[in-house]
Amino acid sequence: MTLTPLIKKFTNTQELIEYVASLAHTPKHALTAERLLTGGRKAAQARLTGLDAVAYGRTRNHLDGQVTRLSPYIRHGIVTLNEVRNLALDSGAPRKQIEKFIQELGWRDFWQQIYDTDPDCLWVDIEAYKTGFQPQDYADTLPDDIAHGQTGIACLDQFIETLLGTGYLHNHARMYLAAYVVHWRRVKWQAGASWFLHHLTDADPASNNLSWQWVASTFSNKPYFFNLENVAKFSGPDIITEPKLNLPLASSYEALVEKLFPYMDAT
Amino acid sequence: MTDLVILNEDALRWTHPVFAQAGAGANCIFIWDMTYFEAMQCGLKRQVFLYETLCEMDVEIYGGVFADVFPQLLAQYAPSTVFVPYSVNPKLKDRHALMAQNCDTHIVKDEVFIVADELPDLRRFFRYWNRARKLAFSYNGIGS
């Protein structure tokens, strides 16, 4: 019996979305073409044309900074790290000004090399938590309010809404969410990593899981956490950072250490 | 008999070296395997992105479980050799092993970020970066 290929011609992207949803047996979904990153080499090429590695280095930590959004294209081999790096070198910018950008490509290579040499480490704690807690102190599953963006913490709910609606989230916002899940709610990083994998268009098991481990402190020397002041510093005007709407985050770092990691010195 | 290229989600571009190795005229296939997507926790948004990418490429997409569809494709296309892009993903490595049991299979690696003589120290990023930095700032990752 001859196999019949699947359809490849669509009149518009929304039709393609409906077709892919039917293949996945998920007829009910809220995806709209306007909110998603466009697949394909042409879209990647457009992003490469607009690449500004110097501006990236200057503004990358800001949620409205000039990040490239090349990650889904790199993730799926539509463009390569080598190609992107060579393009950055072509700009002729001084090495110091493009260092952060090249280093970010290095992070991706680093994660991939770990995946290649030790794939089993991706879902287990590479090292012990340095938070003062043991693995059994963390919940196994992601609470529903986080999964649906109803934590009651305004800025985090905005980030979650973006994640669920677009499949993309700025790296800094990913770190905020990861830290909140693991350190505020004391949920195992694996539950959060799984959640991100499902929703991110650029989801790569190595980059994703090892970054979660970095935040959790099972693949770093200390836990990553943040406070509202930090969110306000790096957010644009669209993100709600009023303290009364973000109470659990509205503290000094010293106060948060005492609250989140009361036993940290004991380990 | 012509060659067959079996693409995977890690290598979705025409400039991948697998196409140069397979040569002109090779048929290119992608198997849309929902079992694989579920195992990889690949949600609908990423599936749409992948499908959109595939629609732009000269590749036939076949739906079904890889282990079931692949033997049928072998019978249908009767390729002399099957070429596949290398992947670090163990699930894709398992597929490659399955293919190699059934036909002449060539696994083709992609271009790399750095060309290092030995595997860098991967215990921490800074250890990796201390070794990789010089190569990372060279075209094609090749040191001078």
Task: Answer whether residue A96 is part of any domain.
Answer: yes
What are B106's strand-pairing partners? B83
Nearest to B45 among A4, A31, A110 (CB): A31
* Residue A105 touches chain B, beta carbons under 8 Å: yes
Does the beta carbon of A35 lie under 8 angstroms from any beta carbon of chain B? no
The number of angstroms, rounded, from the C-alpha of B140 to the middle of its chain's C-alpha atoms is: 20
- The 10s digit of each residue's pLDDT in A80-90 is 999 999 999 99
Same domain for A142 and A248: yes
A251 and A229 fall within a common domain: yes
Q: Which of B12, B119, B137 sits opposite A95 (nearest CB)?
A: B137
The kind and range of the H/E element at B45 are helix B44-55
Residue A146 and residue A50 share a domain: no
ipTM surpasses cut 0.90: yes
A48 interface with B at CB cutoff 8 Å: no
In this structure, are A18 and A42 located in the same domain?
Answer: no
The reply to whether A1 falls in a domain is no
CA separation for the pair A117, B97 (Å, rounded): 17
A57 touches chain B (CB under 8 A): no
**Using a CB-CB distance cutoff of 8 angstroms, which residues of chain A are in contact with residue B51?**
16, 19-20, 39
CATH number of the domain that residue A140 is part of: 1.10.579.10
Are A42 and A20 members of one domain?
no
The H-or-E segment that residue B83 falls in is: strand B82-85
Structure letter (DSSP) for residue A220: S
DSSP secondary structure string, A72-131?
HHHHTTSS-HHHHHHHHHHT---HHHHHHHHHHHHHHHHHHHHHHH-GGGGGS-SS--SS
pLDDT digits (tens, 9 = 90+) for A53-106: 999 999 999 999 999 999 999 999 999 999 999 999 999 999 999 999 999 999
Domain count, chain A: 3
The answer for A 107-166 residues in CB contact with B (under 8 A) is: 107-110, 112-119, 166
- B104-140 pLDDT, tens per residue? 999 999 999 999 988 889 999 999 999 999 999 999 9
Alpha carbon of residue A1 to chain centroid: 44
A129, part of any domain: no
Q: Both A257 and A165 in a single domain?
A: yes
Q: Which residues contact A15 (CB under 8 A, 6 or more apart)?
A: none
Whether residues A141 and A259 share a domain: the answer is yes
CB distance A63 to A173 below 8 Å: yes
Q: In this predicted structure, what is the pLDDT of residue A267?
A: 47
Q: A182 lies in which domain range? A: 135-266
Q: Are residues A194 and A228 in the same domain?
A: yes
Mean pLDDT for all residues in chain A: 96
- Flag if B34 and A194 touch (Cβ within 8 Å): no
- What tens-digit pLDDT sequence spans chain B (144 residues)? 789 999 999 999 999 999 999 988 999 999 999 999 999 999 999 999 999 999 999 999 999 999 999 999 999 999 999 999 999 999 999 999 999 999 999 999 999 999 998 888 999 999 999 999 999 999 999 976
* Burial class of residue A4 in the structure, from the number of CB atoms within 10 Å of its CB (0-12 exposed, 13-18 middle, 19+ buried): exposed
The answer as to whether A130 is a domain residue is no
DSSP helix/strand/coil, A145? helix
Closest CB to A39: pick one of B52, B120, B129: B52
Q: Do A3 and B89 touch (CB under 8 A)?
A: no
From the options 3.30.365.10, 3.40.50.620, 3.50.50.60, 3.90.226.10, give the CATH code of B4-108: 3.40.50.620
Q: Are A24 and A54 within one domain?
A: no
Which residues of A fall within a CB distance of 8 Å from B73?
3
Does the distance separating the beta carbons of A114 and B140 come in below 8 Å? no
